[in-house]
Structure 1
Amino acid sequence: MSCSISTQYLGGTFTLQQLSGSYRETKAASGTSAVFTIRQVDFTHGGSYYCQYQTRVSGRDFTSSHSDSVSLSVHVTLPKPVLTLPTERNSSWGQQVQMNCSISTQYLGGTFTLQQLSGSYRETKAASGTSTVFTIRQVDFAHGGSYYCQYQTRVSGRNFTSSRSDSVSFFVQVTLPKPVLTLRTERVSSWGQQVQMSCFISTQYLGGTFTLQQLSGSYRERKAASGTSAVFTIRQVDFAHGGSYYCQYQTRVSGRDFSSSRSDSVSFSVQGEMLMNCGHL
């Protein structure tokens, strides 16, 4: 703050005084002015200030009236934090998702809060320096959506909160791979024989069912999975059973139904046996 006076009585001093606080400083005038510097302000420095000029003329001390006051407010400005999603934006149900919130600030020792925009997820963690990592260990469908983070800290007994970060989004899905259908018996079967096919899928989503479907016929069968596979048995085949087949896997996760794509097809054919009896006339 600079205090100046228009006077012919040089060589005096200026005093800067805080109106409602204890700050007071006196400096020798440089001509008709003086500059007062508070090198590191804190909240106690906030408020109104005035200055006065004091000088000595012919052995007598004279003091000016107070200047008009000026005010100084002290606050903590926190920049907008940055939220990043190091993991994939499309996450599988049950997997782990991580988000990192960071801020560029000198005010350390605070906390970060991660908040879901349109859901109920909220988590607060102590900052590790100027950042923290939020980990959702097993995501479900409720976790999908947009998130933002904020930084909170305490400076000289006062609480301060940053603005919201820009949001990031991820989506939770169930991805079922294509199952594998194999023919456990011969590709050419005799009429009346048994044919077996096995359908297998590599997945973490257990407890589903497999469906075996004939491509150009009406045969269809559904079986509960035994782990990640099921064996289909046609006990006595006839000509209608011959042809190509595929299988699919269906399961229910968190109240939603999901189906895999079709497996590659396998085929078998059915042939008959002719018995000829020859007699004598």
Structure 2
Amino acid sequence: MSGANNIFIVFLLGNTAMMNTEAQKPFLRLEPEQPGYIVGESLTLRCIAEMPTRITGYSFFKDVIPIAINSSSNRLTISSLSLTDAGNYFCTYYIASAGTQTESQYIDLKVFELPPTPTLSVEPQKNVFVVNQSLVIRCQLQRGQSATEISLYKNESIIYEADNFGVLSIANTEKRNSGSYTCQYRTIISGRTVDSRLSNQKTLVVIDLPPTPILRYANNVQSQSGQIEIVCEIQDPSSLIHGYRLYRNGGEILSRRDVNQFVIDYSLKFDGCYSCRSFVDILGEEVLSPKSTEVFLTLDERNSSSFLERDRRSCQVQNSTTDYGLSKQGYKLYGSVLVGKLIVLISILLYFGIYLLVIHIRRKKSETEAIHR
């Protein structure tokens, strides 16, 4: 019996040793645990053992290549993941007193790039808008890129008025629409929801249309230097204006910043219909006011009391002929062209009439000669 008992004791000791060896196998854990990781994220690998007090060192391996050997810490932190960090990882620990080293399970670490950054666009393509204009803000994804959600932001706050495709249409702009806009989308990568980077930023400013100015002569109508001074005047002095533009017969001739007075030399080309505009300059974009009422300025009869009113009517008459019909010169040109065409047509008809008459006479003459024979 003693021999049988000895064999049984050896069997039990062997099984106990095998159970202890199996129990001492370390476990590798990823913190935080994800099915896949994104470039730039932080990751900690923790090597867990049941009896850590007996362990003298931990080692970590990637693709069988050691990356940390006999470390006193059971943690390995990668502060910013890159694509090259992807691979198969495992860990081991070492007990000096026993001289044993055991491997953990293998973990396949997957690392992915962030989804492509979206592009924010504004239509029409400008940054400064006038109240009651229309615009469209659109978050554009790369072709073929899927998204579970697209969000627009104004001043870092989500815009709930945008549709599910990341489009915000504004029919009538208001000053409250001014702000900094960005966008972002979500997509599925390796079974997890990932936010893209923020798009480029668009700063929009909505302002009132600059006030319409009035064009008039300066108080000193004529100076001794042979020049004349014209003033582009704003009725509300509190209005923010950065400059003024002067037009003659519809074309711009002068532009000044911060000054509303224009000095023009006397010349034969002085006479004409003059108007002006004010403008503001925001974010490098100019916003022009409507044109002032056109005034016909001439070097003759400048001091007449009814000068401005009479000359305003003169420009209005010219504009009406331009807008709704032909000017006198236009009628003359059109009439001369029409007369020329009529003369050519009459000449052609006369030519063919004479030609037919000659043929008819010749035929009659031939018939008469034939009868006399």
- TM class, shorter-length: 0.3 to 0.5
Higher helix share: 2
Higher strand share: 1
Which of the two has higher C-alpha Rg? 2
